[in-house]
Chains A and B, each alone.
Chain A
């Protein structure tokens, strides 16, 4: 059942990206063009998502276990460190260059867009390099 939920959540998430137009990098770049012609839509996407998720999370976070798995995968990392700052900055540069972040990049593969395919392959190479070169622990 958990596998069906994963598929379903992916589908719903993908539909949300299309409705909000965040699947279109041009729309995201409009948000990042804060000092020019600014499109604040992305803020509303985040507000919409957080007003649904946040209250439910805080209401249910102390439950013993989720419905289809044995335990919650709680994230315990609270460190505000070099990794957080350097990583977020690198991500910000890549995001600003093209307007794609991981969610929309993967979802837009469905449109058979060659550019997003190149981006996604490079992104996976990036994921692999972090693992291969152990970048997270080294910077710690």
Chain B
């Protein structure tokens, strides 16, 4: 293991910002923030549909606001083939709904509540993610 590209300060500040959003959603709307839950509820459930849609729209507006106020260009890199993107998207959709949470739902909201379920889920998806990347590096 070599440590590279480590940006602890921006990671911590970004994390605190996310934690603040999770806290506000809880105390004002009484809900846990999990993006997979919010997105899939928007798709399949009538309950809170407008709330869920607005959260998702906000999530997309966030980068615009950041860009507008800081003038920083946001760069992302995705190099995967179309086929792999579809497989990965399907697995993420299926997996997060079968286990009831993703990086935000289990990793932040659930772990923040000290939920054993979420701690186990987070350990598993991180370990499997690390294993997947490890195998990918050999193929």
Q: Contact check: which of A12, A36, A50, A99 meets B137 at CB < 8 Å?
A: A36
Q: Contact check: which of A22, A51, A86, A113 meets B14 at CB < 8 Å?
A: A22
Contact, CB under 8 Å: A3 / B51: yes
Contact, CB under 8 Å: A25 / B99: no
Q: Contact check: which of B4, B39, B115 meets A106 at CB < 8 Å?
A: B39
User: Which secondary structure dominates where chain B touches chain A?
Assistant: helix
User: How many A-B residue contacts, CB cutoff 8 Å?
Assistant: 500
Q: Contact check: which of B19, B100, B108 meets A84 at CB < 8 Å?
A: B100
Interface residues on A, range: 35 or more
Q: Contact check: which of B51, B126, B132 meets A6 at CB < 8 Å?
A: B51
Residues of chain A within 8 A (CB-CB) of B30 are: 65-66, 69, 71-73
Residues of chain A within 8 A (CB-CB) of B56 are: 10, 106
Residue of A nearest to B91 (CB): A94
Check A107/B63 contact, CB under 8 A, given A35-B130, A91-B92: yes
Contact, CB under 8 Å: A48 / B98: no
Beyond the given pairs A20-B18, A92-B125, A118-B86, 10 more chain A to chain B contacts, judged by CB atoms under 8 angstroms and listed by A's residue number, are: A50-B111, A53-B108, A87-B121, A93-B95, A94-B87, A98-B80, A106-B39, A120-B89, A135-B94, A136-B97
23 contacts between A and B (CB under 8 A): A1-B28, A12-B18, A12-B20, A13-B35, A15-B62, A17-B18, A25-B77, A32-B129, A36-B1, A45-B18, A47-B15, A56-B23, A77-B117, A84-B100, A87-B97, A93-B132, A95-B128, A96-B129, A96-B132, A98-B88, A106-B59, A126-B94, A131-B43
B residues lining the A interface (CB < 8 Å): 1-8, 10-33, 35-36, 39-40, 43-44, 50-52, 54-66, 74-78, 80, 82, 84-100, 102-104, 106-109, 111-117, 120-122, 124-134, 136-137
